[in-house]
């Protein structure tokens, strides 16, 4: 039978719409039986959630697998990303039970990249991998011929794959062009395989190789099986849902459509309100209402649809989100490597993908033109300078200022520009004349360190965080590195954990890094340092705009510095002389200070309460900060400084006029005194000149006398100088003495060697005498030995002597004889003959033992005497042996002994023995005596010549000393006279200089008198002009002030607040509508708040006014309007309204402030609400996530997390990410889905599938 395979993927068993998933699963099992399938292949994502699986959801999944296994012989399951419990752990899964070995080969779970053979066809399975480079590498390692016959099955993210087939415009209900995936792995990486079938994206599609698109050749193509049913709003209008039938031999495939696939649809609001929608069209479906809706129309339409039996109605978005492309639009389908590869803006990606659709259709279900936010809120900072002209024009001015409105407007704008830079102390550098200059010279009063952009929008600081590195900060020990793209999910990120675990670490670190202060109160500057490490505290925060802020505390290298970098280059202009000025520069860069940041970006449980319980003045101050009115305080200070400067200048003018008159009187007196002084100085100069002439004549006469005396001394010195001949004779005799001394030294050395030679000769003579004596003694011993041998031949051994005793005696005699034989060969031969004769003698003595006893005794006596003679001979032989040994040693160590006695080295003794004969040695002594005598004679002659030479030289030196003393005396007199002349010249020059100075003063005083009279007249005219300018700055000082006046628009501050209070009310109304979208709850559970809004909406609709134009939640006093019955509400409902007010203020700050935070920090602000209240604030958080990138919510409430995950699943999104904070051994540790983040990954242990 021909095999047929059934392919499916992305079934996603989940709690939401579980009945629809089960219905589709049953249809898949029925289809398998209907088509007689031989093998079923599931390409990932049987499940939806990673870590936690509801029991009944897991049971439904296993029941489906049981039905499928009953209908199909073999089931192969390839793990997808939603099947895995943890990231980077490809073995831990809720489907792990299917890997039991007894289930094979009926059910096989694939968690490893590998090749297999199914029904005779080679296949290559590719489970999900975070880094798809592993899969590409495995494909490249395959044999090309073998790979060309292989089928690939996997769970892949391919570049340009369709992630959402239809992008729906909620206003028109029309579908636009599809959204494609921007990834790093392309279809070309899978070209080696015959075909590839994969899961992961939910739209059924086939991607061909680039070279084979014209011929529609499926070789090497990648086919996405797609989800078998519509699972999220991203699947809207995508009805091609089902499973794929595959012929493994021919590789032909067919899509079998699921009749239960459709579960999402759209309806026109007008059709519903006109009752033209049938029950079957919407029953048991998720419905999105299209058309341009008001709040009242949406709630009414939703109420009718619920009555028709719809599963749910998609939430209405009254607040439009600024479109931004990000990974959140694709949910969990985006791989980390692909997230990093995405560009910063969505438009750039569209251009690369060739998509020409407008931005409002790219993001799924985004309302671009409907939302009130797009109509009522500007997406640029609020510029106060633009309102100045309108304010001035609206006032009725007096006669003195009415014709000067242009200069008033110009000065007001310039005051606001200067007040924006208080950290640079710009006001102190402002000249009020520059303020009044009608020419465009604004750069004259802008600080040199400030570089303005082309317009106000360029000064916006886009604070979109990219990464943060926390080291030894608060509860963190060591370093915690967090990459926002990789380790946090765009949207809501819950941070949970026990008290003290460090949940607020991220929020505190972000705040401290930027502003040097923590949100929690009571902390000193060093309290931010970890209590265990106690040093090297730092936080480094990097933004997407290229700026990086690094703050250090007690750091070994950077101490307490704050470093600002841009694209890796340190910006030193932000570092001031102290911490206060540095922080002011950073605040100017960020566009926000700490107080405003913690009130508008950080939503803490305490901060929200403090805002809503604050006084009217505190609320007004915060709103003024949001509107940028803090610059007016700087304007007031600038006006004060300028007015003080003007008043001071007027006072200075009068003081200067009085000073001029006094100076003129003083100069007249000085001219008379200078004339008398000049006459006296000229007389003194003449006297100094005459004295100098006399001194010069005396000096010339003295020089002549001293020169004659010196010539006489030089002649005497020349006569006493020693002759060269005496010097040569002395040198010659010194040379002869040196040569004689060298000869004596040389003979001295030879004498020592001669002495050694004499000692050697003496020792040799002694040794020769000893040798002769020993020779004579040896001759005597030889005679005794011969006698004993003769006696031994005649004696008979007595019978009592045993054979053993005779052997012993013979042996003893043999030892002494052996020594003698070693001296002479004759002894050796004789002794050997004696030993040969010893045995026959012994035998003959045994035969004589039988003779009479008389004979025996005689023999015994003679034998004893013989033995004693032998023993004596042996003793003398031993003594002679010792003497010979001693003589041998003396001969061997003769030279060494001589060297020791004469204290000469042994090598010199050897040299003397070789070099000299006895006669030569004796002649050396006589030579030494002659040489020594010659040396004494030459030395005496040298001494005589030296004495004569020294005597002559001494006389010459004494005369030379006399000449030098004479020269020294002349030099001293020259120096003394030179000093006298120099002093006279200095005194004369000083007098001349004093004369010139006084003459110059005399002329200058005369000119100054005329000048001061002219300046006095000019100062009087200047004072009149300054009085006319002072009135302008007095006007703006009054306009910028904070004091309350009767008319709200009298001051510029009140004018701006009144102008924008309506916008704040509009935002607050929109947020309340988002939080209370459920019409049934709004109409039953609320009586005042939403009822008032709905009534206002209805009235506005009937009168065709702008939406929300007459709705006022806040009065001009910033208190809640009485129409909302705020005081009658419960504590929970009042807190919802309070939070809505806070959110509105945040949105206005985000759109108006130069600091545009791409994130929001919430610290346990939602925990005290009930589930309905938590659901309402989460709705706003979901909408705000489209304007912000990250929302970090610290919470202890599990219900809040559960609601967020449930709503995320219901909308087909990704829910919310949960980050768990734990107190580990090394401080705070963060985990996501059981995997620790913020530290380098620990090598994981390999698991077997």
Q: What is the DSSP string of 464-502?
A: -EEEEEEESBTTB-SEEEEEHHHHS-SEEEEEE--TTS-
Residues of the chain with CATH 3.60.21.10: 5-263
Looking up tokens 């309905």 gives 1172
Phi, psi of 586 (to 5 degrees): -70, -40
Give domain 5-263's CATH superfamily.
Metallo-dependent phosphatases (3.60.21.10)
Place of tokens 């033209």: 276
pLDDT at residue number 567: 92
Half-sphere exposure of 204 (CA within 13 A, CB side): 22
Please state whether 559 falls in left (phi above 0), alpha (psi between -120 and 50) or beta.
left
From the CB of residue 140, how many other CB atoms can be counted at a distance below 10 Å?
11
Question: Tell me, what DSSP letter sits at residue 539?
Answer: E
Q: For residue 59, what is the DSSP state?
A: H
Q: Residue 900: helix, strand or coil by DSSP? A: helix
Alpha-carbon distance of 1113 to 1120, in angstroms, equals 6
Tokens of 1212: 């087909």
This prediction's pTM: 0.52
Q: Which two tokens stand for residue 436?
A: 């009044």
Taking alpha carbons only, the member of 248, 88, 206, 82 closest to residue 155 is 82
Q: Which two tokens stand for residue 194?
A: 């015959």
The pLDDT value recorded for residue 172 is 77
Partner residues linked to 126 by β-bridges: 154
What is the Cα 304 distance to its own chain's centre? 59
Per-residue burial over 1139-1172, b if 16 or more Cβ lie within 10 Å, else e, is: bbbbbbbbbbbbbbbbbbbbbbbbbbbbeebeee
Q: What backbone phi and psi angles, to 5 degrees, belong to 690?
A: -65, -45
Given this model, what pLDDT does residue 1108 score? 40
Tokens representing 734 are 């010194």
Q: Kindly give the parts of the chain with pLDDT less than 70.
A: 1, 50-51, 213-215, 317-383, 420-429, 439-459, 604-616, 618-619, 795-856, 918, 1043-1049, 1076-1111, 1116-1118, 1150, 1152, 1185-1187, 1207-1215, 1240-1249
Specify the pLDDT at position 207.
93
Phi, psi of 15 (to 5 degrees): -65, -40
């Amino acid at each position: 039978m021909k095999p047929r395979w059934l392919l499916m993927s992305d079934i996603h068993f989940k709690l939401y719409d579980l009945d629809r998933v089960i219905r589709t699963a049953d249809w898949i099992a029925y289809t398998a039986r209907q088509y007689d399938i031989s093998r079923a292949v599931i390409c990932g994502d049987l499940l939806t959630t990673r870590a936690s699986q509801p029991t009944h959801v897991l049971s439904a999944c296993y029941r489906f697998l049981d039905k499928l296994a009953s209908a199909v012989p073999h089931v192969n399951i390839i793990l997808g990303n939603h099947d895995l419990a943890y990231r980077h752990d490809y073995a831990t899964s809720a489907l792990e039970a299917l890997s039991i070995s007894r289930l094979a080969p009926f059910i096989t779970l694939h968690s490893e990249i590998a090749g297999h053979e199914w029904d005779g066809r080679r296949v290559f399975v590719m489970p999900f991998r975070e880094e798809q480079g592993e899969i590409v590498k495995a494909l490249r390692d395959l044999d090309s011929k073998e790979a060309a016959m292989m089928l690939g099955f996997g769970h892949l993210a391919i570049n340009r794959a369709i992630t959402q087939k239809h992008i729906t415009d909620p206003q028109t209900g029309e579908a636009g062009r599809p959204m494609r995936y921007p990834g790093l792995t392309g279809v070309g990486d899978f070209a080696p395989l015959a075909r590839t079938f994969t899961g992961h994206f939910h739209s059924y599609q086939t991607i061909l190789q680039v070279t084979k698109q014209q011929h529609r050749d499926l070789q090497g193509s990648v086919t996405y099986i797609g989800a078998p049913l519509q699972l999220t709003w991203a699947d809207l209008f995508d009805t091609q849902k089902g499973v794929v039938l595959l012929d493994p031999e021919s590789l032909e495939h067919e899509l079998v459509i699921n009749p239960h696939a459709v579960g999402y649809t759209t309806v026109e609001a007008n059709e519903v309100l006109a009752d033209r929608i049938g029950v079957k069209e919407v029953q048991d479906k998720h419905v999105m209402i299209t058309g341009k809706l008001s709040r009242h129309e949406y709630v009414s339409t939703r109420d009718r649809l619920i009555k028709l039996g719809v599963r749910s109605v998609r939430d209405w978005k009254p607040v439009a989100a600024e479109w931004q492309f990000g990974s959140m639009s694709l949910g969990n389908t985006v791989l980390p490597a692909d997230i990093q590869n995405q560009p910063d803006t969505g438009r750039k990606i569209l251009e690369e993908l060739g998509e020409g659709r407008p931005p409002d259709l790219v993001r799924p279900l985004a309302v671009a033109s409907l939302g009130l936010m797009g109509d009522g809120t500007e997406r640029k900072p609020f510029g106060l300078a633009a309102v100045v002209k309108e304010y001035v024009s609206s006032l009725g001015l007096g006669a003195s200022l009415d014709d000067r409105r242009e200069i008033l407007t110009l000065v007001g704008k310039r005051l606001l520009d200067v007040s924006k830079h208080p950290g640079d102390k710009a006001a102190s550098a402002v000249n009020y004349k520059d303020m009044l200059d009608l020419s465009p010279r604004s750069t004259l009063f802008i600080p040199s360190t400030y570089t303005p952009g082309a317009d106000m929008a360029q000064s916006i600081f886009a604070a979109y965080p990219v990464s943060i590195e926390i080291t030894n900060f608060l509860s963190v020990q060591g370093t915690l590195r967090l990459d926002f793209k990789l380790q946090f999910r765009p949207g809501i990120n819950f941070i949970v954990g026990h008290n003290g675990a460090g949940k607020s670490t991220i929020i505190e670190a972000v705040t401290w890094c930027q502003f040097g202060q923590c949100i929690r109160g009571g902390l000193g500057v060093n309290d931010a340092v970890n209590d265990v490490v106690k040093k090297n505290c730092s936080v480094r925060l990097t933004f997407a705009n290229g700026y990086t802020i690094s703050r250090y505390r007690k750091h070994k290298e950077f101490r307490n510095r704050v470093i600002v970098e841009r694209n890796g280059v340190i910006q030193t202009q932000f570092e001031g002389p102290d911490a206060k000025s540095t922080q002011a520069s950073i605040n100017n860069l960020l566009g926000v200070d700490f107080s405003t940041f913690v009130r508008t970006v950080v939503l803490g449980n305490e901060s929200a309460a403090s805002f809503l319980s604050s006084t009217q003045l505190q609320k007004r101050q915060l709103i003024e900060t949001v509107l940028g009115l803090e610059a007016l305080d700087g304007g007031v200070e600038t006006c004060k400084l300028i007015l003080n400067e003007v008043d001071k200048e007027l006072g200075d003018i009068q003081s200067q006029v009085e000073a001029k008159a006094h100076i003129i009187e003083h100069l007249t007196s000085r001219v008379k005194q200078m004339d008398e002084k000049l006459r006296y100085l000229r007389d003194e100069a003449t006297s100094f000149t005459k004295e100098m002439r006399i001194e010069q004549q005396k000096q010339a006469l003295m020089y002549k006398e001293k020169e004659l005396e010196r010539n006489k001394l030089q002649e005497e010195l020349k006569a006493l100088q020693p002759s060269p001949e005496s010097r040569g004779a002395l040198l010659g005799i010194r040379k002869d003495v040196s040569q004689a001394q060298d000869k004596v030294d040389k003979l001295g050395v030879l004498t020592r060697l001669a002495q050694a030679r004499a000692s050697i000769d003496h020792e040799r003579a002694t040794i020769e005498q000893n040798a002769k004596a020993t020779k004579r003694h040896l001759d005597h011993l030889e005679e005794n030995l011969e006698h004993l041998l003769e006696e031994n031949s005649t004696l008979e051994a007595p019978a009592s002597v045993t054979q053993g005793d005779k052997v012993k005696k013979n042996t003893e005699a043999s030892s002494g004889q052996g020594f003698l034989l070693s001296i002479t060969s004759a002894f050796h031969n004789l002794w050997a003959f004696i030993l040969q004769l010893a045995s026959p003698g012994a035998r003959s003595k045994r035969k004589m033992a039988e003779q009479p006893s008389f004979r025996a005794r005689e023999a015994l006596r003679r034998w004893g005497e013989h033995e004693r003679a032998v023993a004596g001979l042996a003793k003398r032989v031993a003594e002679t042996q010792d003497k010979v040994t001693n003589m041998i040693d003396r001969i061997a160590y003769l030279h060494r002994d001589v060297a020791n006695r004469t204290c000469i080295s042994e090598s010199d003794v050897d040299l003397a023995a070789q070099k000299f004969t006895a006669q030569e040695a004796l002649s050396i002594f006589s030579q030494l005596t002659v040489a020594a005598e010659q040396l004494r004679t030459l030395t005496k002659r040298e001494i005589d010549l030296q004495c004569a030479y020294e005597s002559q030289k001494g006389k010459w030196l004494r005369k030379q000393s006399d000449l030098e003393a004479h020269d020294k005396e002349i030099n001293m007199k020259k120096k003394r006279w030179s000093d006298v002349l120099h002093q006279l010249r200095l005194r004369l020059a000083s007098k001349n200089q004093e004369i010139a100075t006084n003459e110059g003063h005399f002329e200058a005083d005369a000119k100054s008198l005329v000048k001061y009279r002219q300046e006095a007249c000019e100062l009087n005219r200047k004072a009149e002009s300054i009085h006319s300018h002072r009135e302008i700055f007095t006007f703006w000082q009054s306009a910028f002030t904070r004091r309350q006046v009767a008319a709200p628009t009298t001051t510029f501050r009140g004018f701006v607040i009144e102008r924008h209070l309506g916008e704040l009310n509009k935002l607050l109304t929109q947020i309340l509508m988002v939080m209370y979208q459920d019409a049934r709850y709004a109409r039953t559970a609320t009586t005042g708040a939403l009822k008032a809004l709905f009534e206002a909406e209805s009235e506005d609709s009937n009168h065709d006014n702008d939406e929300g134009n007459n709705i006022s939640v806040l009065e001009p006093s910033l208190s809640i309007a009485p129409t909302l019955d705020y005081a009658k509400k419960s504590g929970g409902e009042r807190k919802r309204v309070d939070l809505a007010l806070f959110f509105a203020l945040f949105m206005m700050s985000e759109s108006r402030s130069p600091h545009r935070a791409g994130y929001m920090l919430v610290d346990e602000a939602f925990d005290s609400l009930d589930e309905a209240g938590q659901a309402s604030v989460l709705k706003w958080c979901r909408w705000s996530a489209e304007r912000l990138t990250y929302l970090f919510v610290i919470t202890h409430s599990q219900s809040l997390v559960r609601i967020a995950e449930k709503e995320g699943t219901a909308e087909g999104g990704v829910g919310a990410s949960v980050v768990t904070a734990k107190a580990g051994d090394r401080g705070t540790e963060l985990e996501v889905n059981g995997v620790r983040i913020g530290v380098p990954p620990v090598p994981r242990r390999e698991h077997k599938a």
